[in-house]
Homo-oligomer: A and B are copies of this chain.
Amino acid sequence: MSHFKHHVFFCTNSRESGEQCCEQCNATEIRAYAKTKIKSLGLSGEGKVRINSAGCLDRCEHGPVLVVYPEETWYRYLDREDIDEIIEQHLINGRVVERLLISNE
């Protein structure tokens, strides 16, 4: 049994150099939106969903990115609508959102 059914990590990294980073695409704000929405839906907690921030996930070329473990599904997203789709399709119904998927390789 998994401690969290879906453990979601948003890259919220930024660099002082000004190099392109997920944070420049409002990753922290969108992660907060996801966290609030998951909580309001009663989906947060043990055996359910955890929405975490993380440092650079090293997939900058696809950013902004998130990864869902333990199934290891990588997504790029642009806005709240994309997050809504990931929540509804993947986190609630267990179906991968193909259009936002990043290959594992």
Contact = CB atoms under 8 A, between A and B. Distances in A.
Contact of A3 (B3, B56, B105): B105
6 nearest A-B residue pairs (beta carbon) = A69-B69, A53-B55, A70-B72, A3-B104, A54-B54, A70-B70
Q: Give the secondary structure class of A's interface.
A: loop
Q: For the complex formed by this chain, how many copies does it contain in all?
A: 2
Contact of A71 (B1, B53, B54, B70): B70
Interface of A: 1-3, 7, 9, 50, 52-59, 67, 69-72, 74, 104-105
A67 B7 CA distance: 11
Contact of A74 (B3, B52, B55, B104): B3
21 contacts: A1-B105, A2-B72, A2-B104, A3-B104, A3-B105, A7-B67, A7-B72, A9-B9, A9-B52, A50-B57, A50-B58, A52-B54, A52-B55, A52-B56, A52-B57, A54-B54, A54-B55, A69-B69, A69-B70, A70-B70, A70-B71
